[in-house]
Amino acid sequence: MEEIKQLISENKLEEAIRLLDAYLTEQPRSDEAWFLLGKAHYKLGNVRLALNSYLQAIEINPESPAQAAYDMAIKVLDFYNKDMYNH
């Protein structure tokens, strides 16, 4: 996981996603991997995929940091969606 975290911090997001997809094929109950997948998707602007990944992590482990990331992403979406209707 450390290598994947490093890739995400270096914005090598496609590579991180590829490794996470392979890892999750073998370890589908890894809440940390689902959280990191969500983080990578979010940084790429794939909010829907990020939210789905965060929800997978939360389902496995309700104490996952994915809960805070999910809540933040929803707040950001709500902010932008409200802004769209105020023009």
Domains of the chain, each with CATH number or no CATH: 2-85 (1.25.40.10)
Task: Give me 9's structure tokens.
Answer: 């911090």
What's the confidence (pLDDT) of residue 87?
Answer: 46
pLDDT at 86 over 90: no
What's the confidence (pLDDT) of residue 17?
Answer: 98
Helix (H) or strand (E) holding 82: helix 66-85
DSSP string, 44-76: HT-HHHHHHHHHHHHHH-TTSTHHHHHHHHHHH
Q: What would the pLDDT profile of 35-85 be if each residue is shown by its tens digit?
A: 999 999 999 999 999 999 999 999 999 999 999 999 999 988 877 666 554
Does pTM surpass 0.85?
Answer: yes
Task: Give me 41's structure tokens.
Answer: 């998707």
What's the confidence (pLDDT) of residue 76?
Answer: 83
CA nearest neighbour of 36 among 76, 18, 78, 77: 18
